[in-house]
Amino acid sequence: MSKYVKPVIAALTVVVYLLALRFIAPPMRPCFLIGPAVAGLVAWLSGRVAGLMVAMLLLPATRFIYSQFDISIGFSTYVTSPSYIALMAFAALGVGSARNYSNALKRRIEDYWKANENLQRKLSSVQEPGGLYNICSQCKSMKSENGNWESVNDFLQKNTKMQLTHCICPDCTESYQDQEIEFNPERF
């Protein structure tokens, strides 16, 4: 909803409530109990401050309307009672707080969706080799997609984000030690 539509709806709701209270509602029924709902609606549409202002403005307006009827004197005194004032304030503050919480929750959900989309985008860009690859059982060269044979090192560096370094495993170390090659394990 537009930022201009919400205040118009809130103002129309207050006017319709007061007109209905004066001209439509029977004086023997406690229709002023709809007042907290009106204050809550205004608080939901425009915030806690606006809801609280409407709640405090509806108190004298409702009392004035009920003072026009001879039969409803008891209702006009109830409208100024602390319990009704607290009910109006609680409706405005409670619904306004629920609105703020709801808006914060919506923003947090939107942030999670954006983060999820960002992670999905990054995950799709990660190169991961999968499937079957041809590898020579003798020299361990691998056949690339274009049909060329290349070393395992070159293949992995081109097709993954791996960076390779060379060393000698413990089994090979023993085989080198058996041979007459000078081996210094501290070099590795």
What's the residue count for the chain? 188
Contact 78, 84 (CB under 8 A): yes
pLDDT score at 72:
55
Per domain, the residue ranges of the chain are 5-124, 141-187
Angstrom distances, CA of residue 62 to CA of 27, 123, 124, 150, 154: 12, 61, 62, 88, 84
Q: Could you tell me the two tokens for 32?
A: 């002023």
Low-confidence ranges of the chain (pLDDT < 70): 1, 27, 70-77, 127-129, 175-188
The DSSP element (H or E) to which 123 belongs, if any, is helix 82-125
SS3 of the chain: helix, strand, coil, percent, to 5? 70, 5, 30
Segment 61-101, tens digit of pLDDT: 888 877 777 665 666 667 777 888 888 888 889 988 998 99
Q: Could you tell me the two tokens for 166?
A: 């060379």
Contact 45, 10 (CB under 8 A): yes
Q: Could you tell me the two tokens for 172?
A: 């090979």
**Nearest-CA neighbor of 58 among 17, 91, 95?**
17
pTM metric for this prediction:
0.55
**Nearest-CA neighbor of 13 among 43, 40, 32, 38?**
38
